[in-house]
Structure 1
Amino acid sequence: MTDLPRSAAGGRSPWLIASVVSIATFMEVLDTTIANVALRHMAGGVGASQDESTWILTTYLVTNAIILPVSGYLATLIGRKRFYMGCVAVFTLASLGCALSPSLPVLLACRAIQGLGGGGLAPVEQSILADTFPPERRAGAFALYGLTVVTAPAMGPALGGWITDNYSWHWIFLINLPFGALSLFLVSVFVKEPEAVREDRRRAREENAGIDWVGFGLAAVALGSLQVVLDRAVIDDGFWSPLVTWLTVACVVGFMLLIPWERRQARPAVDVRLFAHRSFLAAALIMFLVAFTLFSTTQLLPQLTQDLMGYDATTAGLTLAVGGLGTVVAMPIAGRVTGLVQPRWVILVALLWSGGALLYATNIDLQMGFWHVSTLRVLQVMALPFLFVPITTAAYVGLPPDKTNDASALINLMRNLGASVGISVMNAVVTHGAQFHQNRLIETATEANPLWVEQLRQTEQALRGAGVGAWEASQATLQQLSGQVAGQAQVLSYMDAFWLLGVAVLTLWPLVFLMRDIPKGAATGGH
């Protein structure tokens, strides 16, 4: 394959570059999902309460969200390779700090720094891939890269459960050290900074004497506030919390000021003008939905199996790992299919499959076994490679070559926002849905309902037959049936969540017709 002007291969195989730059994102995404499972263990290790421990996740997500949209801007100003290696180094060293943290404040500070490093990885990696492969061959490259993004969330809970069940939570962060060191070495040796990218940096510095600090600040306020609101809304009773209320106001005001400001800048920190490209806009919106679905279900299924079915952390994580094997098989096929068929048609079929699988997942009950749960997961995630690969491929079609850094940053921002919004919204659906269904079920638990009366009689009779006294049997019957009502209410709330996700996926199919076709045999100098 002939090198493109902006290729990072430097005469080497572009597939080698694709493999090298996938290492750090695998480390970052894996670390995020592992940390979710180990939260209780980390809280105990640093003397934090359960409520305080949620800030271990929130601080990372806030700084990660802040750096994501401006990472393309920073990569252009600093130099793509230099910025990328700096992000890997910051993430790796912060991971060591997290592992050695003696208290909650130190751990939160290290997690914030870790988020800054992690936020810059994926955008630069995707920019490198977009510049190193011509449009008609990007699908295969993004398929290889997509293995890290899609399988790491599936492996994380299982690995995190195993580590926390058998070792110390400190290893959640220590396992990042060899990954980080390997990534730094391979990037320094094999990834090149082409002259066209260096010219972008020189031109950016000449055109813009100073950094867009206003854009930075507004993005930090808007996205940082949004992330805290999403993470704390359910925990802090929504708008009854002054923190949630004021941060919501800050988020809205931040976005209202950010968008018009950045549209007027010659070199904006967040290039919102990219959303004017219809193919990019459609790709960004569908990516948001893919992440919304993937990460919310990644949280819902282990939560369901642990809270209601008695699974330990390792077994609950294994249900996701089985689905991860499905994505490993499907990802190369998705890359091949996307190289042969225009992305819009692949995405359309995958949306229909994904929506149908989510609707099928409403057939859940507390008697289903491990393989039933795993099958539901496999059906859900088998469509994800056929969404991720064509979406990422189509996002760059028609964009100027020097905008790949900014486009990658915004696509990854949409992915992260989709994950955060999905987890927050679906947690709220499950929490409030359980209360709603429990109230409705209790309304039927009266003497006017013959089924309820018969259930009471049979349960009490069984207890008395086991030798329990009359009064104790009566009380135990009410307690046992109350537990069953609460459990059934929770199951119904999970069914609601899967139904809403399925409907949401199925209603977005018209977006695929906004996407432009990938040019076949396009000139190597452009996108």
Structure 2
Amino acid sequence: MAAKTGFAKYIIVITTVTAAIMELLDTTIVNVALNQMAGSLGSTIEDVAWVITSYAIANVIIIPMTGFLGEYFGRKTYYLTSMVLFGVASYFCGASDGLWELVFWRFIQGIGGGALLSTSQAILFDAFDPKDRGIASGLFGMGIVLGPTLGPALGGYILETYNWSQIFYVNIPICALATVLTLIYIDRKEGEGERKQEIKIDYIGILLLIIGIGALQFVLEKGESEDWFESRMIVTVSLMAAIGIIGFIWHELHTEHPVVNLSIFKHRIFAFSTMFNLVSGLGLFTSAFVYPVLVQRVNGFTPLEAGVSLVAPTMAAVILFPIIGKRMGAGASPIPFMIAGICFFIFFGFYSGTATPDMGKWDFFPMQICRTIGISLLQLPLINQAVAGLKPKEYPAGIALSNMIRQLGGAFGIALANNFATNRAAQHRSDLMANMSTDNPLFNERVANATKNMIASTGDTFNAATMAYKQLEAAVARQAYFLAYLDTFRLISIFFICLLPFVFLLRTKKVSPEEAAAMAKAAAESH
């Protein structure tokens, strides 16, 4: 497909980036609505969490298959079908009046949403000449960062203004417009869909992928609530994940027509870039998850306030993406950008450790700016690294696998953060309670003051001391969770510290202008 120019190019940029934002936004927008959903549907928070889990499982299963599905059905046909499926499922999610009906349609929505990430990226790349694909990466990177970040803010606004069903209905007009624009402005690739009869479907590979990756995502999503390996269900599903993944890898490397081309891992740059994508996804999704929980649980923010305080610094830093993309398109090495991005994220984690429970939403702005600058500097080179060193025909598999690894990194990070924060909160509470002893004069003084305050406010002299102790216990629990969340930010930084030395393994040999031109020509012809 020839690169686009003028108005058509801008329409494709808007369509594909908006689709990617919408898909990623739906991974986080539901988080702030769980309480309202549980009350409306008559379910527990634990059960309604399946609304998040089902979407994530469908996403992570379908994303690695997008290259194959795009080739089998034709990329434009597959993209359009997925867009319509996402919109229709969004409508039925909002219209659901039962929990398991909603969970089912969220799963269908996740299947449709899978193509809106990897396929959007491939279509966007096609709209630019090979020499300008750094700019395309920058624009797509904006979507990757904006999606998870906008979710809590938009969800908080909708909940305060309307009800939870509008969280899903908001997708429908966007899907409708994107479908029309895709029909008009996105061309079919030459020969698209004509090889359908020649392509053999790898049914065994698809089944093993569903079992392995689906089970792994289930364990990461539900492990904390099920007490991890104390649960027989988690042990069983973990064994299914191990058998499925190992079987999938072995089968895909030995079958003639794999559903996912795993042979691309023989390319050193791509293999190492997956490790960076894993940690990058961990940092992106985990920090966007922990921060709203922290400020709502400890600082007293509303969901909307938490979301807005996260969006403002993201919007300020996201302007870096086109700038970095232009520099990389001009031939700049990705290594300095990645080093700077990792360092910013390390600083963010430890800087966040200086937060206090009485900080307002704008007090968090400097540390959140560090976070988004770090993500901006790191994410864009990684998008380019997804195809660095690959042959043009391997691009779809490289893009799909990179997106899947990033999603799994986010799921792993959130599961780790939940478990780590719970354990650290228990430890901090134990340490703080050790000071709550009648042998401690400061504690006795605080109890006396709290008791006086209770008598003054309630007039109940008989129960004032008991209420004072409960108030102090609540303060200890609040402080324990606050310290635990700060520890979690530091833990994220430690992952990036461990990652930093491996940056230099991504160094590629410098190619001559003639070689670069030949590579660009080959890439253009393949698209």
Q: TM-score range by the shorter chain?
A: over 0.9
Give the drift of 1:187.
1.1
The answer to whether the 8 Å contact 2:11/2:181 transfers is no
Mapped to 2, the partners of 1:329 and 1:184 lie a distance apart of 27
Mapped to 1, the partners of 2:348 and 2:388 lie a distance apart of 30
What does residue 340 of structure 2 align with? 349
The amino acid across from 2:16 in the alignment is V
Give the drift of 1:110.
0.9
Secondary structure (helix, strand or coil) at the match of 1:507 reads: helix
The amino acid across from 2:289 in the alignment is Q
What does residue 376 of structure 1 align with? 367
What does residue 48 of structure 2 align with? 53
Q: 1:302 aligns with which of 292, 297, 308?
A: 292
Q: Which runs of 5+ in 1 are unaligned?
A: 1-5
Give the drift of 1:15.
4.8
Distance change (3 Å), C-alpha of 1:216 and 1:467: closer
Q: Is 1:443 paired with 2:434?
A: yes
Mapped to 1, the partners of 2:277 and 2:118 lie a distance apart of 14
Give the drift of 1:86.
1.0
Distance change (3 Å), C-alpha of 1:459 and 1:48: closer
The amino acid across from 1:525 in the alignment is K
Q: Is 1:216 paired with 2:206?
A: yes
| 1:461-487 residue CA offsets vs partner (Å, 9 max, x unmatched) | 555676856553322332222122111
Mapped to 2, the partners of 1:375 and 1:48 lie a distance apart of 39
Give the drift of 1:63.
1.1
| 1:439-458 residue CA offsets vs partner (Å, 9 max, x unmatched) | 12212322344433343344
Mapped to 2, the partners of 1:360 and 1:122 lie a distance apart of 32
Q: Is 1:17 paired with 2:12?
A: yes
What does residue 464 of structure 2 align with? 473
What does residue 159 of structure 2 align with? 164
Percent identical: 31
What does residue 522 of structure 2 align with? 526
Q: 1:336 aligns with which of 326, 331, 356?
A: 326
The amino acid across from 1:220 in the alignment is I
The amino acid across from 2:177 in the alignment is L
Q: 1:486 aligns with which of 471, 477, 482?
A: 477
Mapped to 1, the partners of 2:146 and 2:477 lie a distance apart of 34
Q: Which runs of 5+ in 2 are unaligned?
A: none
Give the drift of 1:267.
2.5
Give the drift of 1:74.
1.1
Give the drift of 1:84.
1.0
Mapped to 2, the partners of 1:327 and 1:179 lie a distance apart of 25
Q: 2:274 aligns with which of 284, 288, 305?
A: 284
Q: 2:28 aligns with which of 33, 50, 53?
A: 33
Give the drift of 1:180.
0.6
Mapped to 2, the partners of 1:48 and 1:83 lie a distance apart of 36
What does residue 3 of structure 1 align with? none
TM-score by length of 2: 0.92
Deviates more, 1:458-467 or 1:166-175: 458-467
Q: Is 1:427 paired with 2:418?
A: yes
Secondary structure (helix, strand or coil) at the match of 1:70 reads: helix
Distance change (3 Å), C-alpha of 1:335 and 1:51: same
Map 1:101-500; keep pairs closer than 5 Å: 101-195=96-190, 198=192, 205-206=197-198, 208=199, 210-340=200-330, 341-463=332-454, 471-500=462-491
The answer to whether the 8 Å contact 1:8/1:191 transfers is no
Give the drift of 1:241.
1.8
Give the drift of 1:13.
5.6
What does residue 88 of structure 1 align with? 83
Give the drift of 1:203.
5.7
Deviates more, 1:29-38 or 1:62-71: 29-38
Distance change (3 Å), C-alpha of 1:203 and 1:400: farther
Mapped to 2, the partners of 1:58 and 1:129 lie a distance apart of 29
| 1:61-82 residue CA offsets vs partner (Å, 9 max, x unmatched) | 1111111111111111111111
Secondary structure (helix, strand or coil) at the match of 1:69 reads: helix
Mapped to 2, the partners of 1:205 and 1:11 lie a distance apart of 37
Distance change (3 Å), C-alpha of 1:230 and 1:455: same
The answer to whether the 8 Å contact 2:79/2:119 transfers is yes
Mapped to 2, the partners of 1:441 and 1:448 lie a distance apart of 14
Secondary structure (helix, strand or coil) at the match of 1:420 reads: helix
Mapped to 2, the partners of 1:107 and 1:477 lie a distance apart of 44
Corresponding pairs, count: 517
The amino acid across from 2:34 in the alignment is L
Mapped to 2, the partners of 1:133 and 1:507 lie a distance apart of 35
Secondary structure (helix, strand or coil) at the match of 1:444 reads: coil
The answer to whether the 8 Å contact 2:20/2:147 transfers is no
Mapped to 1, the partners of 2:510 and 2:95 lie a distance apart of 48
Map 1:497-508; keep pairs closer than 5 Å: 497-508=488-499
| 1:298-344 residue CA offsets vs partner (Å, 9 max, x unmatched) | 11111111112221111111111112212332222222333342112
What does residue 63 of structure 1 align with? 58
Mapped to 2, the partners of 1:176 and 1:388 lie a distance apart of 26
Q: CA RMSD in A?
A: 2.2
Mapped to 1, the partners of 2:498 and 2:475 lie a distance apart of 35
The answer to whether the 8 Å contact 1:338/1:389 transfers is no
What does residue 72 of structure 2 align with? 77
Give the drift of 1:503.
1.2
Distance change (3 Å), C-alpha of 1:517 and 1:391: farther
Distance change (3 Å), C-alpha of 1:154 and 1:497: same
Deviates more, 1:110-119 or 1:339-348: 339-348
The amino acid across from 2:385 in the alignment is A
Deviates more, 1:324-333 or 1:484-493: 324-333
Deviates more, 1:476-485 or 1:295-304: 476-485
Distance change (3 Å), C-alpha of 1:281 and 1:130: farther
The amino acid across from 1:426 in the alignment is A
Give the drift of 1:106.
1.6
The answer to whether the 8 Å contact 2:73/2:196 transfers is no
Distance change (3 Å), C-alpha of 1:72 and 1:477: same
TM-score by length of 1: 0.92
Distance change (3 Å), C-alpha of 1:7 and 1:448: farther
Secondary structure (helix, strand or coil) at the match of 2:159 reads: helix
The answer to whether the 8 Å contact 2:284/2:410 transfers is yes
The amino acid across from 2:288 in the alignment is T
Give the drift of 1:525.
2.3
Give the drift of 1:275.
1.8
